[in-house]
Amino acid sequence: MSTELEPLSIDRAIGQKILLAFEGKDDLPGEIRDVIRKVRPGGFTLYRALNIENPAQVHQLTQALQQIALEEGLSPFLIAADQEGGQLMAIGEGTTQLPGNLALGAAGSTELAHQAGVVLGRELAAIGINIDYAPCCDVNVNPHNPVVGTRSFGQDPRKVAALSAAMVAGIQASGVAAAAKHFPGHGDTASDSHHGVPVVPHRLERLREVELPPFAAAIRAGAKLVMTAHLALPEVDGRDDLPATLSTSILQGLLRRELGFSGLIVTDALDMRAILQGMSIEQVAVSAVSAGIDLLLLGPSQTSPASIYNRLLESTQQGELDTESFQASTRRIKALKDWLGKQALPPELDVVGCAAHQAVATEIAGRSITLVRDQGGLLPLRLQSGQRMAVILPRPLDLTPADTSSYVSPALAQELRRYFSTVDEYLLPHAPQDQDIAALLGQVQKYSLLVLCTLNAYSQPDQASLVKAIVQTGIPCVVAALRMPYDLAAFPDASTFV
């Protein structure tokens, strides 16, 4: 992608600040071209449910979008996606399924984090996506955090900082821009900004010790973008209802001046309840740009880009938005597009999911597995002649809006059958009811060994009840936490836990 942008008039510069979303996978909706002509957007965000089936299809879609940009006389579009690895993969089928950031934190290797970034970047570049909304730089210090969890590298700020920087470097070495998120840190919240405004109650001194170091490291590593969080920091700017996305003191004071960030600031999705709070999307857009936002990430449910464009234009013409700041933002967008235009040609599509990338994922997975205890001496797994094993798992489920786990098919039983001929699988609801537990208890008596997997059972009492009931049968049982390791606290009697 090559571009050298000329200075833009205000009316054209406004559109560059807007990242559109739309529903369509093969044929672009007819109204998209009309919106492009009116708004002249900076680019698009692609969503798994709306735009994505497989890498080849996404490649055709991104090429079609860039062709429209060419035909309309626009600079090449920024095309972004949430390709974090782990629980949030905008492009899933056919891509390399990396285990995710918490697995990298358990592995404790900056080299693997860099390799993971390279894998993400190369595969995105091959299919035509040039911004990755990754890595997640949040320090997950709150076990009850409903939205970050395994998306974080862990709870140690120094480790999170080192791994964040390594992943940024890997993504951008592949010619894709990285967006460090969610500034100034979503790791110590007990609510989800998709549903309301989380409040981080800490003073600035604490933020400097815990939340900010990973972002500082990502910035030093050259992160081209930082994504904001729709959360309030009353000890920083005096309000418990003002999201960081709309806070001048946080964006200009903390991010620009204190951390020295000179790249693009992009919002989290603007269809989240935490940002709207009774305001119109047009009001939110003006407030965000006024606070220092460069790129407005429209969510898939927002169908009013033209009205957002018109309101921004009106605000600029009436002096509500500072012209000098607006032009500085335009120059930052230009700088990113110029950087993208100077990157090497993307790899061929066959790099997506290739053997070398799969080997990286396998190494991360292997090194991330942590044995907490094996008091029963059940590992490595063993079966005598005539004995049977059962694998018990909750059905994959999207636990938050920032989750694509429901697209995943469990493969543990299938893999174990490579080593043991008598392995059965039981898939249960994420929150099993009494009748589900009773039915399972009636089945497991015929097995000599159980592998019982959990998905955040520490926050799901029904799932924890299932584990306790199974453990009490006395059947040898390996309990494996597939997401957060906090699960053990919900069933401390489990003798073997990984």
Evaluate whether 127 touches 140 at the Cβ level (below 8 Å).
no
What is the Cα Rg of the chain in Å? 24
DSSP state of 271: T
Is residue 436 exposed (0-12), middle (13-18) or buried (19+ Cβ within 10 Å)? middle
CA 230 to chain CA centroid, Å, is 15
Specify the residue for token string 């879609």: 61
Evaluate whether 187 touches 138 at the Cβ level (below 8 Å).
yes
DSSP state of 352: T
Catalytic residue (one of 82, 132, 268, 487): 268
User: How many whole angstroms separate alpha carbon 496 and alpha carbon 15?
Assistant: 56
Q: For residue 27, give the amino acid letter.
A: D
Is residue 366 exposed (0-12), middle (13-18) or buried (19+ Cβ within 10 Å)? exposed
H or E segment and range at residue 84: strand 83-85
Strand partners, 179: 225
Coil/strand/helix, residue 318: coil
Size of the chain in residues: 498
Catalytic residue (one of 194, 202, 357, 430): 194
Dihedral, CA atoms, 37, 38, 42, 44, nearest 10 degrees? -80
Opening angle at CA 154, ends 110 and 46, nearest 5? 80
For the record, the structure tokens of 291 come out as: 């606070």
User: How many whole angstroms separate alpha carbon 135 and alpha carbon 318?
Assistant: 38
Coil/strand/helix, residue 194: coil
Q: For residue 278, give the amino acid letter.
A: G
Helix boundaries (H) for 279-433: 281-291, 305-317, 323-341, 355-368, 412-416
Catalytic-residue membership of 194? yes
282-286, long-range: CB within 8 Å, 24+ apart, which pairs?
282/307, 282/308, 282/311, 283/311, 284/246, 285/311, 285/312, 286/311, 286/312, 286/315, 286/320, 286/321
Residue (of 146, 118, 111, 156) closest to 134 by Cα position = 118
Neighbours of 216 (CB within 10 A): 19
Catalytic-residue membership of 59? no
User: How many whole angstroms separate alpha carbon 308 and alpha carbon 299?
Assistant: 13
Dihedral, CA atoms, 457, 120, 177, 258, nearest 10 degrees? 40
User: How many whole angstroms separate alpha carbon 239 and alpha carbon 50?
Assistant: 36
Dihedral, CA atoms, 240, 246, 250, 251, nearest 10 degrees? 170
Catalogue the active-site residues: 194, 268
